[in-house]
Chains A and B, each alone.
Chain A
Amino acid sequence: MSALLEVRGLTKRFGGLTAVHDLDFEVREGEILGVIGPNGAGKSTTFNLIAGTYAATAGDVRFAGEPILGLAPHRIAARGVMRTFQHNRPFAGMPVIDNVLVGAHTRFGATLWSVVLGRSRAEEARRRERAAELVQFVGLGELARADVTTLSFGQGRLLEIARALAGEPRLILFDEPAAGLTAAECARLAEIIRGIAARSIAVLLIEHDMHFLLPLAHRVVVLNFGAKIADGLPAEVRTHPAVMDAYLGSHAAH
């Protein structure tokens, strides 16, 4: 089976700084691909390139066989690539459930005209029900009607996930979803991510915490200074000399 996402020669330069350099990797349906690397290695930039937030300097990204590089972010989302942000970005003026419904934006079929005529209520009710299920799924069921500004940091992380799932993605990009979570929340998150992959959604997962990532990922890509320095099974990557050097070395230096 061919890959759902294929990244070839992806490069991004910010002025003189090469944040991502000639990167190749692919992700299949139902696969969890871990992306690790020290701070500033270019992980988030890679996500921003795939999601269309940044324009690439060079390279090719194919999603379901079609090139998506250069498309606007909302078009990429509409094709089924949803993401979470490294730093929570809720829609502060809306309750939790409405935040999740924004994630389902591209799945609404009603035209503005039918909204004005009041003919879109059934679809709205159906979507709202589905969004409520997702809020439940990530464990925020009690807080569906709450103002997002009242959420804790960890609850905000979960909201990011529910919102991304609402878009019915075929590929989901998680940027450090476990950062700042308690051990219990991490365990729950690992559960959720496994559940997502089990629905044959492809998962790209950036994570610093090896204890969280290695048991979860099917394969791992290691970045350093924007370039891929290793990839393979979690067990292989863990003992890879270049990884020990670059990644663990830089951590030891802290």
Chain B
Amino acid sequence: MKSENPLALRATPLIRGAGAFIVLAGAAFFMGDYHNDVYRKLLLWVTLALGYNFLFGVCGQVAFSHFAFYGIGAYSIVIFLFQLHLPFPLAAICGIALCIAFALAVAIPSTRLEGFYLALVTLALGQLFIVVLNEGGTVTGGTGGIANYRLPEIYGLRLRGPWYTAVIALLVVATYAVLVRLDRSWFGRACRAVRDNPEAAAAMGVDVARTKVIAFTLTSVLAGIGGMVYAFVDNTVNPPIFGIENAFLLLFMVIVGGAGRHAGAVIGAVLLFLLPFWLSPLVGHHHALVFGVLVVAAILLEPRGLIGIYDRVADRYKGSPSR
């Protein structure tokens, strides 16, 4: 498929992906420690928003467990590496397996019932996860979490400073590429069909329950992988990060950016992540209020989000409707 955007480079996806990676990773080498830290978290939010957008925006499933899976990934890699002393690749595989097991356990029973049920179950999972972390004794480190560990050498590589930021840049680009490919395939259309009209989707041959379970498991695993990467950003994992508040912030990012659109998820994540940095000097801790206003404004004025506004402007210059 040729890109319809006149500004897009006519390059193969591989070249575009490599270019995006070089730019995103390269930027890290021009930043100090503080900005590298902020930048890494920004990239992680973008990854999370991309995955959550696929689940919520593309597949229409309202779930609040994304940060729980982020946490399962983060805690499991740390526990497997430093308490069970597994080698790195095995620890990563076990962490992913754990995410898959939890995702299936949540998705299979709840997708059989109607949509609202998934929201409730994942809300409960999100809360329960925090309780387990807090009460987990020496395994999870309780309210203080786990600290004082370092990323081990992986195949002799010591990834530090901007080099670790480059790993996160790779994660963003790979996540984007995988999700865009899925979206432009029969699977992505099936997800959108399930979102738009499940009964018609079934009549067209789409296995609605299976599609939902796959989308949920896949995006939950992506969140888990993000969590594994996050575990070595702060070199500490503790419960508040993985709570329900961040799950709501993720939902806001996707809605403000434009649900169902990958570029929208990126824009929403970047904007809402950076907003507190700009707003704090002006309004102190009241930036949550600004978020609320933004979300309500997006829903009322432009349900397609910021990307919807961009589309309208672009259409005016191009004269043809885009998807």
Question: Are A91 and B199 within 8 A (Cβ)?
Answer: no
Residues of A within 8 Å of B184, CB to CB, are: 124
Cβ of A98 under 8 Å from chain B: yes
Cβ of B3 under 8 Å from chain A: no
Nearest-CB residue, chain B, relative to A120: B185
Nearest-CB residue, chain A, relative to B14: A118
Cβ of B197 under 8 Å from chain A: yes
Question: Are B190 and A105 within 8 A (Cβ)?
Answer: yes
Residues of A within 8 Å of B199, CB to CB, are: 53, 89
Bound form: Cα–Cα A62–B124 in Å: 45
**CB within 8 Å for A92 and B185 given contacts A53-B203, A105-B206:** no
Cβ of B22 under 8 Å from chain A: no
Q: How far is the CB of A158 from chain B (nearest CB, A)?
A: 16
**CB within 8 Å for A106 and B260 given contacts A112-B182, A147-B321:** no
**CB within 8 Å for A74 and B192 given contacts A112-B182, A112-B214, A115-B187:** no
Question: Are B203 and A51 within 8 A (Cβ)?
Answer: yes
Question: Are B323 and A95 within 8 A (Cβ)?
Answer: yes
Q: How far is the CB of B136 from chain A (nearest CB, A)?
A: 34
Residues of A within 8 Å of B195, CB to CB, are: 93
Q: Which of A114-140 contact B (CB under 8 A)?
A: 115-116, 118, 120, 124-125
Bound form: Cα–Cα A115–B321 in Å: 27
Q: How far is the CB of A173 from chain B (nearest CB, A)?
A: 9
Bound form: Cα–Cα A92–B200 in Å: 11
Bound form: Cα–Cα A134–B184 in Å: 20
Within 8 Å by CB of A91, from B13, B187, B193, lies B193
Question: Are A102 and B323 within 8 A (Cβ)?
Answer: no
Cβ of A222 under 8 Å from chain B: no
Contacting chain B: which of A1-9, A12-20, A76-84?
Answer: A76-84
Bound form: Cα–Cα A53–B204 in Å: 12
Question: Are A110 and B206 within 8 A (Cβ)?
Answer: no
Nearest-CB residue, chain B, relative to A148: B196
Question: Are B196 and A92 within 8 A (Cβ)?
Answer: yes
Q: How far is the CB of A141 from chain B (nearest CB, A)?
A: 16
* Interface size in chain B (residues, C-beta < 8 A): 31
Cβ of A72 under 8 Å from chain B: yes
Bound form: Cα–Cα A154–B132 in Å: 56
Question: Are B205 and A112 within 8 A (Cβ)?
Answer: no
Q: How far is the CB of A132 from chain B (nearest CB, A)?
A: 13
Bound form: Cα–Cα A82–B13 in Å: 36
Bound form: Cα–Cα A145–B55 in Å: 25
Question: Are B192 and A94 within 8 A (Cβ)?
Answer: yes
Q: How far is the CB of A26 from chain B (nearest CB, A)?
A: 22
Cβ of B186 under 8 Å from chain A: yes
Q: How far is the CB of B215 from chain A (nearest CB, A)?
A: 11
Cβ of A85 under 8 Å from chain B: yes
Question: Are B186 and A110 within 8 A (Cβ)?
Answer: yes
Nearest-CB residue, chain B, relative to A83: B203
Nearest-CB residue, chain B, relative to A84: B203
**CB within 8 Å for A72 and B203 given contacts A93-B195, A105-B186:** no
Cβ of A37 under 8 Å from chain B: no
Bound form: Cα–Cα A163–B184 in Å: 18
Question: Are A116 and B178 within 8 A (Cβ)?
Answer: yes
Cβ of A103 under 8 Å from chain B: yes
Cβ of A244 under 8 Å from chain B: no
Q: How far is the CB of A112 from chain B (nearest CB, A)?
A: 6
**CB within 8 Å for A105 and B189 given contacts A74-B207, A116-B178, A167-B205:** yes
Q: By CB atoms of chain B within 10 A, which of A93, A115, A125, A147 has the most?
A: A93
Nearest-CB residue, chain A, relative to B321: A147
Residues of B within 8 Å of A108, CB to CB, are: 185-186
Cβ of A205 under 8 Å from chain B: no
Cβ of A73 under 8 Å from chain B: yes
Q: By CB atoms of chain A within 10 A, which of B184, B197, B204 has the most?
A: B204
Bound form: Cα–Cα A252–B185 in Å: 51
Question: Are B185 and A89 within 8 A (Cβ)?
Answer: no
Q: Which of B164-223 contact A (CB under 8 A)?
A: 178, 181-182, 184-187, 189-190, 192-193, 195-197, 199-208, 214
Bound form: Cα–Cα A93–B323 in Å: 8
Question: Are B203 and A118 within 8 A (Cβ)?
Answer: no
- Can you give 29 contacting A-B residue pairs, CB < 8 Å? A53-B202, A72-B202, A72-B207, A74-B202, A74-B207, A74-B208, A77-B203, A77-B205, A90-B196, A90-B197, A91-B192, A93-B192, A94-B189, A95-B323, A98-B323, A101-B189, A102-B189, A102-B204, A105-B186, A105-B204, A105-B206, A108-B186, A115-B182, A115-B187, A118-B181, A124-B186, A125-B1, A147-B321, A150-B321
Chain B residues engaging chain A, CB cutoff 8 angstroms: 1, 13, 178, 181-182, 184-187, 189-190, 192-193, 195-197, 199-208, 214, 260, 320-321, 323
Known: A91-B192, A91-B200. 14 other contacts (CB 8 A): A53-B202, A53-B203, A74-B203, A74-B206, A74-B208, A94-B193, A101-B189, A103-B205, A105-B189, A105-B204, A116-B178, A145-B323, A146-B321, A167-B204
